[in-house]
Structure 1
Amino acid sequence: MSKVDKKGKPTQQSLDLLDPAVHQEQGGDLDFVLKIHDGHLHDLEISSVVNLLSALDQIVGIKQASFNTIKEGSTTIAITVPEDLKSVAILNVTKDTTAKRKQISRIQKELGKYGFSHAEISYGTLREDEVYEPKEILYVVPEVETEDVFTQEESLDGRLTRLQKGKDKSDHITIILNNGEEVPAQCSKKLLEELHPFFNTDQSLRFEGKATYLTKSNSYQLILKKYVIHKFHVIEDMTLDEWIDDFRSKGASNWSKHDDPIGEWLKERQD
């Protein structure tokens, strides 16, 4: 019920839109809720709250929608839509459009500021002092994939192919690794002159240099993005006997005392 001020104009008695009586007066209106499970309201800047509320409003896309609440716990942002526009609102939330993707990107950007990831849009009825149970989760906000780059000193074995002259002090080449994977690499012009005889041959080389890897948050896979060659060695072709002699010469695990180190290794594997 409204009060009247001294000038005889009605005033709003309460802004508590979660009051059950208000819901009854609204005739069963529905609440559309953006819930951030790993976020807390006090963590968010005011500008973030405004952006999230605005994005939700535009995704639901109902002009007659009204603000419902922003509450603590798992951050809950809600607007209320008239019951007779339920179908339109649900369609707007679930369909894929350029406009919707733009608003989802706004939400993802705000979540990313705080390291939050798990958010969803649902509809149901919010009640004061009751745990919100959605009638249906309409859309789960995709987690933004983040990337991290790191470098380390590393040796690579492979062959050379493709040469592209660089505009800076380095030239760009491609290394074909033993597993067939191709890795972009660069080296100094001086080193390139030494590498020229080995381009597009079957000669295996061992490169020493700095590797740059890319990792993604949604994958444990490491992607070798770039390699800077500092120096290289020719890997000589070896016969099996030469390889065994080299293996025995290492002396590790007392292999050198055996006349047939490979046979001894196989024997251990069978025990």
Structure 2
Amino acid sequence: MTDKSTFVLKLSGIDLSDVTAGDMARMLSDFCKLLGNDELYLDSIYSGSAVTKIYTDRDLYIPKLEKLNKNIANNHSALNGIQSVIRRYAKNFSQIEANILASRTAVNDDELEQVYNIDYQKAISHTFEQNETFIGKLLKPAQGNDETDHFTILLANENKISVELDKNLSFQIAPFLEALWRHESLIEFSGIAKYEYQDNYQVKLNGFNALSFRVIPNTTTANLWMKEFIAMGESGWQKEEEPIRIWLEERHL
């Protein structure tokens, strides 16, 4: 038994001498990212396939394992990095496999347990388009380099999507920007969404081209504005000839 927890990235079906130092370094870096870089230390890199072993404190085994599982489930870019390297070697080493092994107390390699098999094959996917409507909060516009502009909106599920629209539609939105930002009104875009369907049952939004829009007033903000307006009016300035202008000046708007 040891007081260190061990995590191993093991490539079988290939020898360490067949892998470049740069690729081993890239996979080591990505492996650490999957586990969370803090409190990780290099133990060794050795042959017998191609093995990269790192360790951390025994008390951190469960948090590191949870971090690993979370990053794998979220398809972290570091996992994609490891898969990309392995795919290149698979062209010449058809039997190559990659596994992550771990143990909280193991002293010898045969005591390590496999916790994840890295599937490096690219998922088969196809794309499709369909009519779609998205409602969200406008975050920022970005002028395009071509005949399109782009807006980012925040959906109710906290996801952000990029909306592409032509210049004409962008000009139509311009008069509503104050309401969308100052009063936090919502905007509804309708148009054509481009999706990618993968064989792991995941659907990814690759693009959205808006053809129309509708501003949805934020009644909560509007009601609050009215209450503030009335309350300040009760202080006496409602007797002014131009109370709205005075009110705006007081608020430095």
Q: TM-score range by the shorter chain?
A: 0.3 to 0.5
When normalised by structure 2's length, the TM-score is 0.42
When normalised by structure 1's length, the TM-score is 0.40
